[in-house]
Amino acid sequence: DAKTTQPPSMDCAEGRAANLPCNHSTISGNEYVYWYRQIHSQGPQYIIHGLKNNETNEMASLIITEDRKSSTLILPHATLRDTAVYYCIVRVVIQGAQKLVFGQGTRLTINP
């Protein structure tokens, strides 16, 4: 079972920052938080990942709370092409093998 919960849908105006929340209250100390997105009928696209510290790359920023029970993905200047389903995933390790177990994700719609 997925270890994350996300709102099913969100809307954001083009050009504004999109802030996508994720709860992962049962995360363990060595489990990473990943974010992927999936545009219709395509494979998931990697966005960013983090363990404890906030992370930033060319696509987004990831803010992880100090207790690591939740995180927020920030798309600083959303465009229409950012419309997609965004998945927040905790990478679990079972018997030495890593797995990404997807939850239901957040369907983000960027409006013009």
Partner 1 sequence: GAVVSQHPSWVICKSGTSVKIECRSLDFQATTMFWYRQFPKQSLMLMATSNEGSKATYEQGVEKDKFLINHASLTLSTLTVTSAHPEDSSFYICSATSGGLRRVEQYFGPGTRLTVT
Supply the minimum distance, in Å, between the C-beta of residue 101 and partner 1.
6
Indicate the SS3 state at residue 80: helix
Instruction: Name the residue nearer to partner 1 (CB basis): 13 or 101.
Output: 101
Measured CA to CA, the distance from residue 33 to residue 67 in angstroms comes to 13
Output DSSP code: residue 96: T
Task: Tell the smallest beta-carbon distance from residue 97 to partner 1 (Å).
Answer: 6
Beta carbon of residue 13, minimum distance to partner 1 (angstroms, whole number):
25
Helix, strand or coil for residue 81?
helix
Structure tokens at 51: 């363990």
Decide whether 18 or 50 has the Cβ nearer to partner 1: 50
Which residues form the interface with partner 1 (CB under 8 A)? Answer: 32, 34, 36, 38, 41-46, 49, 87, 91, 93, 96-105
Which residue, 26 or 98, is less far from partner 1 as judged by CB? 98
Distance CA 64, CA 99 (A): 20
Residue pair 5/103 in contact by the 8 Å Cβ criterion: yes
Taking the least distance from each CB to partner 1, the nearer of 67 and 97 is: 97
